[in-house]
Amino acid sequence: MNEFKLPKQVQLCEVAPRDGFQAEKKWIPTEEKINLIHRLHQAGVTSMEVTSFVHPLAIPQLKDAEQVVAAVRHLPGLALRALIPNARGAERAFQAGIKEVKCILSATDAHSLANTNCTVDQALVRIQSIADYSQSKGIKATGSISVAFGCPYVGEVSPQQVERLILSYTRLGIQEISLADTTGMANPRRVFDLFGKMRDRFPDVTFSAHFHNTRGLAQANVLAALQQGIVEFDSSAAGLGGCPYAPGASGNVASEDLVFMFQEMGIATGTRLNDLLLAAQEMKKVVGHDGGSFLLQAGVPKKHEQPAGQTKEEKS
Amino acid sequence: MNEFKLPKQVQLCEVAPRDGFQAEKKWIPTEEKINLIHRLHQAGVTSMEVTSFVHPLAIPQLKDAEQVVAAVRHLPGLALRALIPNARGAERAFQAGIKEVKCILSATDAHSLANTNCTVDQALVRIQSIADYSQSKGIKATGSISVAFGCPYVGEVSPQQVERLILSYTRLGIQEISLADTTGMANPRRVFDLFGKMRDRFPDVTFSAHFHNTRGLAQANVLAALQQGIVEFDSSAAGLGGCPYAPGASGNVASEDLVFMFQEMGIATGTRLNDLLLAAQEMKKVVGHDGGSFLLQAGVPKKHEQPAGQTKEEKS
C-alpha cells in the first residue's frame, strides 16, 4: 500500500474580510464588517486578512480600513494581516497597528497592468519601498504572486518566471510568499510540481497557497500542495471573493469547505466547523449571496451533527 | 522533491443517461435521450451506462430502456453498460443486446432498504441470481457498493463491511467492482486508505470509483484514488444525477469538470473537452438544469480555447 503524506495540522488565513468584501459593490456597513470578523474569530480563526490599505477611490468598500482594524486588533489570539499596494498603504497599516502587511505582485505584466496599473518591474519598485518602510518600523512584510499557475490574459506562466519573482522578493528580505491561483487555472499536477520546484530552490522561504475554485479544482489543488509540504492556505468564508479585474474569476475556496475536508482527513485547523458555518451563513446574509459554498448548501453529514456554539474542538 | 504518482491514461464511464436521467421527474422524450447519447459518443465517450432495466413503475423515466439501447447499441467503439436490480432486469438487458450489466448493493441495511427495499443479505441473493443468469448467457456482470465511504443514515461504514461485500461479489464470480460515494461523505484520506486496503486484499479485482460532489470533494477524491492506482471513474455530463432516496445527495461529479482536470494534468481520457462541453450544454437544456458543473459556468481558460467540433484530441 502506498503512503499518503499529509500533515497533522495546517494554518488557515481567513480572507473574506479583504478578498471577499472588496469584490462587493454594495456598501457593507463598518459595524457589519466588524461583527463578521468577530464571528469568524469566535469560530476559532487565528489568522485573518482583515482589510486592504488601498486608496479609498480605488476600492471604496475598504475605505474604513482604519476603523475596522481599530475594532478588532485586540481580539485575543488573532493575527491580523492587511493587503497593501504601496508604501503609503504600509504607513497607514502601521499607524493602524497592523503587524503584518502583504505585498501584491502579478506573475505577468498583462495581469499586473489590469490589476494594479503597473508592470511587474514597476510593482517591484513599489515593493522595495514597502520592504524598506516595514523593516524600519519592525513590521513583517509578506508577498503574494497572483496568477502564478496561469494567467487569464496570456495563458501559461513558466516556473522560471515565478522563480524570478520569488528571488526578487527574497532579495528584498521577504521570505513568506503566497502563490495564488487568482482565476482558477491551476491543476493538481502543476501545483505539486511548482511548489516542489520552488521549495527545492528556496528552502528558506515559507510558502502558502491561495486557490480559487473557478473550475472546481481548489480542494484537489490543496491536496496536491499538502503532499508537497505546504501547510498554509488562504480561504474565504462563504467562498466570497474573486479578482474583480480577472475575467471569469469566481470565488475563493470556501473556508467551511476547506475546514470540512481537513477535519474529515484528521488534520487540525483550530477552527470549529459548526461555528464557522454559522459565520458563513451570516456572511452570506449580510452580503446577499455566497461565492460558491458546498457546505452552506449540503450541510455537514449526519455523523458530524452536533450542537452549534460548542467550544470543544471537533474531531473527525 | 516528492513524487506524484499519476497514471498516463484513465477510463471514464459516462453515467448521465442512467444516473442523471433517473433523478428527473419530468419525462425526457426517448428521442432526446438517444440524441444526447449520440452527442456524448461524438465527444469521444467510449463507455456509457445508458439506462437501467428496472420495473417501469419503480423508475418511469427509464421505462424506454429497450428503445434507447436499440438505437445506440451499434455506435462504433462504445461499450454499453446497464444497471439492473434483479435477474428479470438482466434478462431484459440481455434480450436488448447489452453485454455488461451492473449490480447494485449498499454497504448498509439502512440505505439498502431505502434504495431497493431489501436488506444487504437479501440483495446478495438477488445478485446471485443475476450472476447465474449472466454466466449462462455469457454477459459480464459487474458490481457496485453504494455508500461505501459513509452512509447518510448510519454514518461511518467500516472497511470490514466493504471487504465483506467485495468478498461476496467475488464468490459470485464478479471481479469488477465500483465503490460509490453516493451522498458525498468520502474524503481523500478515506478514499486513499479504503482503495489501498481493498486493492491489497483483492489483487484480482478491478476497482472503479463513483464520486458525488455533494460537499465539493469529488475531484480531490479522484486525485486520491488515482494515487492508489485507480484508473476507472464514473462521471455525469452536466453533473446530473444523485440518489433520489438519499437525503442531501447532489449531483455526480460533472464529466466536463473531471475531463478538464485530467486534461490539465496530462492524463488522457479519449474525450474531446470542447465537444463534451457542448453535449453537457445540450443536456442542461433538455433537462432544464445542471447538477453542478463548474466548466459550464466558467468555461475553459483562454489557453485552451479552440474551435468546437474538432476531431483531433486536445493536448494540455
pLDDT by position in tens, chain B (length 316): 568 889 999 999 999 999 999 989 999 999 999 999 999 999 999 999 999 999 999 999 999 999 999 999 999 999 999 999 999 999 999 999 999 999 999 999 999 999 889 999 999 999 999 999 999 999 999 999 999 999 999 999 999 999 999 999 999 999 999 999 998 999 999 999 999 999 999 999 999 999 999 999 999 999 999 999 999 999 999 999 975 444 444 689 999 999 999 999 999 999 999 999 999 999 999 999 888 899 998 899 876 444 444 333 333 3
Is A16 within the bounds of a domain? yes
Nearest CA of chain B to the CA of A252: how many Å? 13
Phi, psi (degrees; rounded to nearest 5) at A192: -60, -45
Is B315 within the bounds of a domain? no
State the best of B212, B265, B267 to mutate against chain A, taking most chain A CBs within 10 Å.
Answer: B265
B223 with A228: Cβ contact below 8 A: no
Domain residues for the domain of A136 are 11-295
- Tell me the C-alpha distance between A179 and A186, whole Å: 11
Catalytic annotation, pick one of B13, B103, B151, B243: B243
A298 with B2: Cβ contact below 8 A: no
Is B68 within the bounds of a domain? yes
Q: Which one of B6, B220, B298 has the shortest CB-CB distance to A250?
A: B298
Instruction: Give the confidence band of A251 by pLDDT, cuts at 50, 70, 90.
Output: confident
- Tell me the C-alpha distance between B61 and A311, whole Å: 48
Query: What pLDDT is stored for residue A242 in this prediction?
Result: 72
Query: What pLDDT is stored for residue A243 in this prediction?
Result: 55
Contact A261, B220 (CB under 8 A): yes
pLDDT, mean of residues A110-122: 94
pLDDT, mean of residues A121-149: 97
Is A306 within the bounds of a domain? no
Is B115 within the bounds of a domain? yes
Query: What pLDDT is stored for residue B257 in this prediction?
Result: 97
Which chain A residue lies closest to B261 (C-alpha atoms)? A187
Total of domains in chain B: 1
Is A315 within the bounds of a domain? no
Nearest CA of chain A to the CA of B256: how many Å? 10
CB contact set of A16 (below 8 Å; sequence gap of 6+): A36, A40, A236, A237, A238, A240, A241, A252, A255, A283
Q: C-alpha cell of A265?
A: 482527513
B1 with A302: Cβ contact below 8 A: no
B184 with A298: Cβ contact below 8 A: yes
Q: Which one of B1, B4, B185 has the shortest CB-CB distance to A189?
A: B4
How many other CB atoms sit within 10 Å of the CB of residue B308?
Answer: 11
State the best of B221, B253, B261 to mutate against chain A, taking most chain A CBs within 10 Å.
Answer: B261
CATH of the domain at B69: 3.20.20.70
Annotate A227-257 with DSSP letters as a single string: TTT--EEEEBGGG----TTSTT--PBPBHHH
Active site residues of A: 243
How many other CB atoms sit within 10 Å of the CB of residue A198?
Answer: 22
Is B314 within the bounds of a domain? no
Contact B96, B51 (CB under 8 A): no
Query: What pLDDT is stored for residue B307 in this prediction?
Result: 41
Query: What pLDDT is stored for residue A302 in this prediction?
Result: 74
pLDDT at A16 over 60: yes
Query: What pLDDT is stored for residue A120 in this prediction?
Result: 98
A vs B, Cβ pairs < 8 A, gives 147
Q: Which one of A2, A219, A227 has the shortest CB-CB distance to B2?
A: A227
pLDDT at A201 over 80: yes
B217 with A261: Cβ contact below 8 A: yes
B298 with A214: Cβ contact below 8 A: yes
Instruction: Give the confidence band of A249 by pLDDT, cuts at 50, 70, 90.
Output: very low
Which chain A residue lies closest to B295 (C-alpha atoms)? A215
pLDDT, mean of residues A155-173: 97
Contact A17, A47 (CB under 8 A): no
B243 is catalytic: yes
pLDDT at A247 over 60: no
Instruction: Give the confidence band of A308 by pLDDT, cuts at 50, 70, 90.
Output: very low
DSSP A312: S
Lookup result for grid cell 449526519: A302
Whole-number percent of chain A with pLDDT over 70:
92
B294 with A215: Cβ contact below 8 A: yes
Is A288 within the bounds of a domain? yes
